[in-house]
Amino acid sequence: MPIELPSSLTFEALGSVGVLRLSRAAKRNALDDETVNGLGHFFRQVPDGIGAIVLAGDGPHFCAGLDLAGASATPDLLHGILHSRLWHRAFHDIQFGRVPAVCVLHGAVVGGGLELAAATHVRVAEPSAYYALPEGQRGLFLGGGGSVRIPRLIGTQMVMDMMLTGRTLSAEQGQTAGISQYLTPEGGGLAKGIELARQIAANAPMSNFAIIQALPRNAEGDPGTGYFTEALMAGAAETSPEAKQRLADFLAKKAGKVTNT
Ligand code: 1HE
């Protein structure tokens, strides 16, 4: 059944990979409530047969962050808090969804756009990508989970610097800081994102589930609970029929080796 999406989001299935695009280029893919809700809705209902998602942006920029037109109309404190919680729900469903997401970054990746990218699992950047958190300049604060996720990527001091001084990071600096894991030539981001998503989709689904659900929780939680959860996930993965087949293939010399590419 086709997923109903707002006009600001476009979905295309490419075999085992789904490509979801922010498609509100005229407003630089600024995130209004409809788009944020649409993102959550999509990641809760990733179609069967899709093993990984590529998230990209139409037009000259990945995402200009929060739609400032909508934000300027927030009537009171409670609505402001609830608005942030709406983002939290949607981005939680990206980070802890059924399948991993690869994000392709180009142009402005700012404010809520960087928060969105931080909720995905692998980030690919083109040289035009640049990163900023202009919340301080706009009289705002992070509201899409960025104060939790972005320091874990690049460190609290760097986030503080970006927010206090309005510092912008280039694609190269973002790569060094840990925002992106891959840097491609200009225009090569989508192809790289799809290539990575295909590799991810070829993994056993139980392994991918454990990687996106258990790994970050174990890395950030208390070690005792982490080791216990790890054991549960390891057992679940190891005893899955898919693992049995893959291990048998390796032992029968029918599976690929790990090579130094
Ligand atoms: C927007 C937005 C937006 C563009 N909300 N409408 N985010 C920001 O502070 C970033 C604000 N935007 C910019 O700095 C620039 O627009 C860009 C660097 C992203 C792009 O520049 P450019 O020259 O390519 O485009 P533009 O001409 O500035 O914008 C094109 C249109 O998009 C224009 O509307 P138009 O009707 O005049 O054509 C812009 O008004 C509109 N537009 N960005 C609304 N953000 C959960 S909390 C998160 C808090 C934050 O994200 S704070 C950071 C907000």
Global model pTM greater than 0.85:
yes
Is residue 261 a part of any domain in this protein? no
Q: Which CATH number goes with the domain that contains 55?
A: 3.90.226.10
Ligand 1 pocket residues where CB is under 6 Å = 27-28, 30, 60-61, 64-69, 87, 108, 110-112, 134-135, 138, 140, 142-144
Is residue 40 a part of any domain in this protein? yes
Assess whether 193 and 229 both reside in one domain: no
Closest atom of ligand 1 relative to the 111 alpha carbon: 51
Assess whether 19 and 48 both reside in one domain: yes
Q: Which CATH number goes with the domain that contains 227?
A: 1.10.12
Is residue 239 a part of any domain in this protein? yes
Assess whether 72 and 128 both reside in one domain: yes
Is residue 195 a part of any domain in this protein? yes
> What pLDDT sits at residue 72?
83
Assess whether 149 and 212 both reside in one domain: no
Closest atom of ligand 1 relative to the 84 alpha carbon: 46
Closest atom of ligand 1 relative to the 87 alpha carbon: 46
Assess whether 244 and 134 both reside in one domain: no
DSSP state letters, the chain: -PPP--TTEEEEEETTEEEEEE--GGGTT-B-HHHHHHHHHHHHSPPTT--EEEEEE-TT-SB--B-HHHHTT--SHHHHHHHHHHHHHHHHHHHTSSS-EEEEE-SEEETHHHHHHHTSSEEEE-TT-EEE-THHHHT----SSHHHHHHHHH-HHHHHHHHHH---EEHHHHHHHTS-SEE--TT-HHHHHHHHHHHHHTS-HHHHHHHHHHHHHHHHS-HHHHHHHHHHHHHHHHTSHHHHHHHHHHHTT-S------
Q: Could you list the residue range(s) of the whole structural domain that residue 93 is in?
A: 9-201
Number of domains composing the chain: 2
Is residue 2 a part of any domain in this protein? no
Assess whether 105 and 224 both reside in one domain: no
What is the residue with the minimal CA distance to atom 22 of ligand 1? Answer: 28
What is the residue with the minimal CA distance to atom 5 of ligand 1? Answer: 67
Assess whether 55 and 85 both reside in one domain: yes
> What pLDDT sits at residue 3?
86
> What pLDDT sits at residue 182?
98
Is residue 257 a part of any domain in this protein? no
Mutate to test the pocket of ligand 1, among 68, 130, 149 (most ligand atoms within 8 A of CB): 68
- Residues with pLDDT less than 70, the chain: 1
Is residue 256 a part of any domain in this protein? no
Assess whether 164 and 246 both reside in one domain: no
> What pLDDT sits at residue 111?
97
Is residue 1 a part of any domain in this protein? no
